[in-house]
Chains A and B, each alone.
Chain A
Amino acid sequence: MLSNEVKQKLISIVSEKNYDDSKIERLVYSYDATPNFQSMPDAVVSPRNAEEVSQILKICNQYGVPIVPRGSGTNLCAGTCPTEGGIVLLFKHMNKILEIDEENLTITVQPGVITLDMIQAIEEKGLFYPPDPSSMKISTIGGNINENSGGLRGLKYGVTRDYVIGLEAVLSNGDIIRTGGKLAKDVAGYDLTRLFVGSEGTLGVITEATLKLIPMPETRKTMLALYQDLSAAARSVSKIIANKIIPTTLEFLDQATLKVVEDYAQIGLPTDVQAVLLIEQDGPPEVVERDINKIAEVCKLENAVSIQIAATEEEAMALRTARRAALSAVARLAPTTILEDATVPRSEIANMVKAINEITEKYQLTICTFGHAGDGNLHPTCATDARNHEEMERVEKAFAEIFDKAIELGGTITGEHGVGAMKAPYLEWKLKKEGIAAMMGIKQAFDPNNIMNPGKVFAKDSKKRVVITK
């Protein structure tokens, strides 16, 4: 509970109507999209500008009150679950697009802007902001920056990090700093912009961002390839890229996913195939045409059993259906859905999927794998029931083995969802003690009193890494 003194001070900053500590309001900000995480904050505060954020942080720093910045709460790493109580900071007032600069090709926004609203405003000007996390219809750009969100176009266009070129952020002592700017080149000191992207609210509160834009590609083409052999699908992915083609999208579905998608959506896909690749290319029409034909050739050489190239946008939509329905199809199998994002170098995709299948078998679980094959970012997704404690234990063990395998193959425990509270116990597996210590040093420099989203990224206890014996 906040003391009355703190409460009154906060109210004097943001006014009565932007401070709420009723039970219901606290409850609805006690969770995000991560299964099995819930913890009540002490209050919910909605500042109206960076100056108010600064004053709030000063109070929190003085009284040691945890502060959790939250966009729309769609992250999958418990990054915005107030696990240590304190204040949830909302950005519903700070949700304006400040400027689209067509000469410098940038957009400047406040953190509470909904990603899709921003993208629509950008596209109206014939410009393009490529990161497209699947929650973009409701996620905020502030949330995307804090989690360094990815999406389906990561392979060709990169992720949120690659588009953030300037930030305004408030530090735990209340200082308001500006990093970067509308600049392609800027080496004036440490690259704090990059440091803040993906920092999950643990270093400061982002109050404004300048993002880089690019021209809109002229056309896009979509194709679907089916395989009887998982390795052949994986080899196609590597060979497409070895042929010096970088597709916009190179998505993958395994057989387990395909089966549940077909059960759910009945789109007429054969369920005896082992893997599906959804491939898209964009750019000038002649380049797209050439690339798609070449990709089709590669797939054929790798014994794809079926290759479909969409002639119209309607056909393209139909080809995308399986991938789009994947999450829904798996989510409907059981009450609890755990969506992970273990990532490996793309050359290891086949090995990783095979390992996931073996682990699934070993622990007798339902795990379907789909994801972004082009950048090695897989989504092994488990349909389970949080009430079944025995099964949940097996789920935890299985995912621990999956993370372990990903690291063994030169990958990582999280490709795009973030560490948050959920993956914090595994972070040391990836970074080692020394890596954690280096990051901890940065954290302490920015936030000596540990008020900024405490309990995230750094775990109190690391998981013991079990060595897998086959």
Chain B
Amino acid sequence: MTTLVEQEKIQQQFKERMNEDELLNCMRCGFCLPTCPTYIESGYKESHSPRGRIAMMKAVVDGIVEPDEDFERSLDLCLGCRACEPVCPSGVNYGHLLEEARDIINQNKKHSLPVRAVRKTVFEGLFPHQNRMRTMVGLLGFYQRSGIQTLARKTGYLGLLPDNLATMEKVLPKVPTMKDMKNRPEHLPAIAEKVHKVAFFSGCLMDTMFMKTNDATMKLLQLAGCEVVIPKQQTCCGALHGHSGEKNAAKELAKKNIAAFEDLGADFIITNAGGCGAFLVDYDHLLKDDPVWKERAEVFKSKIKDISEILVAVSFHKKVKLELPAQVITYQDSCHLRNVMKTASAPRILLESIKGVRFVEMKEADRCCGSAGIYNIVESEMSMVMLDYKMVQAKATHATTIVTANPGCLLQMQLGVEREGLSDKMRAVHIVDLLAEAVK
């Protein structure tokens, strides 16, 4: 519940903080509607479309409506996939409007005690601290290896969890040991003739739960002729904070990362998670009110490149022989990689160059799978509707391997495979893991 006093405060801040030019930029042509998953899945409800949401934000600023429960509900249900942005004739930065609106609502709303406790733990206590991330993921490893997992599954204790969480538990990767997670490289030489010096943004979740994928990424970079530096001072990108209305925390993380990467003399900063990459390239907007930091952010931003982009740029796929046993593969775009980082063709070029596999494009591969950060947990109903639709399209390709480019999408697609009961016939992998497999 939002109280009337809270609503008034929210309305006031909307007037003060929302970018009026950006709101006016929306000319209401409706070209965004067909790209919006929540508009379509809600049965064409304008209130669940980008045009509708922008109209609501503007109406709150103009004092025509109050930021009531319905308004909040509409913003909550938005995936933040930003599929509306590339098709917008006026180039409205919807993502920026959404983040600002969510931040205002969150900062002015008194959450219930348990919600506050969870938010504090996750946003302040966990993600910004890589050592705690390791401990957390380490506990998961203990759970997986100690036999508790088997016990929990057998006793039906997991039945107490909501359906998709229980399934999610099954698809989590086998996590590395604490020792391995602590012992991370800081510098790796190029294996082929050196063409670039790059820095690797290792990410918080990627460097713990998905450590294997990070290792594969660095290996591919080395093979592609890149000297790789991995600065220890880097931290979580802050995307989770930014998308959840914790902008100040996100700003602090952004500053740490900019500082960590700026004196390395690297040509590029490489990411392997579309969600992180998209947030990193937006640092200049995040820090726009701080001229000094904005400038530093612009330099940082100009160096961000997804792993698939650099591999294609240095012709990795032409220089290194890639081969796999015969199989059909398909690719699910990471929304943020595609819509914000504008990387769509590079992953496809790489996949099509693997000998032995047949790449089949999935219908609406550019539509969100419903993962969207923590959306699949907090808005699980809508998320599962979208996942089911996605699996229909995936199955229609007859692919046995679904390739993704972001950890959230990867888990969601694995969840989809599990839900369909196809885990013996179909798998979901991160693109770098598949490429690493193809190198061997």
Contacts and interface: CB of A to CB of B under 8 A. Distances in A.
Chain B interface size band reads 20 to 34
Contacts of B24: 335-336, 385-387
Given A27-B65, A72-B30, A337 B90 contact: yes
Given A28-B56, A114-B34, A328-B91, A336 B27 contact: yes
Contacts of B56: 24, 27-28
A336 B45 CA distance: 25
Contacts, number: 85
B64 A27 contact: yes
Interface in B30-69: 30-31, 33-34, 43-47, 49, 52, 55-56, 59, 64-66, 68
Nearest to B88: A328
A74 B29 contact: yes
A135 B29 contact: yes
A9 interface: no
Given A73-B46, A332-B90, A24 B71 contact: yes
A24 B34 contact: no
A241 B241 CA distance: 61
A30 B47 CA distance: 11
A419 to B, nearest CB: 19
Contacts of A336: 24, 27
Contact of A328 (B44, B70, B74, B89): B89
B132 interface: no
Contacts of A34: 28
A138 B71 contact: no
Contacts of A135: 29-31
B15 to A, nearest CB: 15
A100 to B, nearest CB: 21
Nearest to A44: B46
Nearest to A29: B46
B44 to A, nearest CB: 5
Nearest to A136: B34
B25 interface: yes
B21 interface: yes
A95 B44 CA distance: 11
A253 B98 CA distance: 35
Nearest to B27: A337
Interface string A86-109: 000010100100000000000000
A463 interface: no
Interface string A17-32: 0000011110111111
A387 B27 CA distance: 14
A412 B166 CA distance: 64
Nearest to A72: B30
Contacts of A35: 27-28
A92 B44 contact: yes
B90 A24 contact: no
Given A328-B90, A386-B24, A23 B31 contact: no
Contacts of A73: 28, 30, 46
B65 A23 contact: yes
Contact of B55 (A31, A90, A116, A386): A31
Contact of A33 (B30, B59, B68, B71): B30
Given A23-B70, A328-B91, A335-B25, A28 B30 contact: no
Contacts of A24: 47, 56, 65, 68, 70-71, 74
Given A31-B55, A327-B89, A332-B91, A25 B47 contact: yes
A6 interface: no
B180 to A, nearest CB: 48
A337 B28 CA distance: 10
A74 B46 CA distance: 12
B89 A331 contact: yes
A22 B46 CA distance: 13
A349 B1 CA distance: 60
A384 to B, nearest CB: 11
A137 interface: yes
Interface in A48-102: 72-74, 90, 92, 95
B27 A331 contact: yes
Nearest to A328: B89
A138 B33 contact: yes
Interface string A306-339: 0000000000000000000001100110011100
Contacts of A74: 29-30
Interface string B133-169: 0000000000000000000000000000000000000
A227 to B, nearest CB: 26
Nearest to B91: A332
B28 A92 contact: no
A79 to B, nearest CB: 13
A332 B22 CA distance: 11
Question: Taking each of A40, A74, A335, which has the highest tally of chain B beta carbons within 10 Å of its own beta carbon?
Answer: A335
B34 A28 contact: no
A31 B28 contact: yes
A92 B70 contact: no
Question: Taking each of B30, B70, B91, which has the highest tally of chain A beta carbons within 10 Å of its own beta carbon?
Answer: B30
Interface in A124-173: 135, 137-139
A327 B90 CA distance: 8
A90 B46 CA distance: 11
Nearest to B90: A331
Contacts of A27: 55-56, 59, 64-65
Contact of A28 (B27, B31, B47): B47
A459 B69 CA distance: 38
Nearest to A139: B30
A138 B66 contact: no
B130 to A, nearest CB: 41
28 contacts: A22-B70, A23-B68, A23-B70, A24-B68, A24-B74, A25-B47, A25-B70, A27-B65, A28-B46, A33-B27, A33-B29, A33-B30, A35-B28, A72-B30, A74-B29, A92-B45, A114-B34, A135-B29, A135-B31, A137-B34, A138-B31, A138-B33, A138-B34, A139-B30, A328-B91, A331-B90, A332-B90, A337-B90
Given A328-B89, A337-B89, 8 more contacts: A24-B74, A27-B65, A30-B55, A33-B29, A72-B30, A73-B46, A95-B44, A332-B91
Give 4 closest A-B pairs by Cβ, nearest first: A24-B70, A335-B24, A28-B46, A28-B52
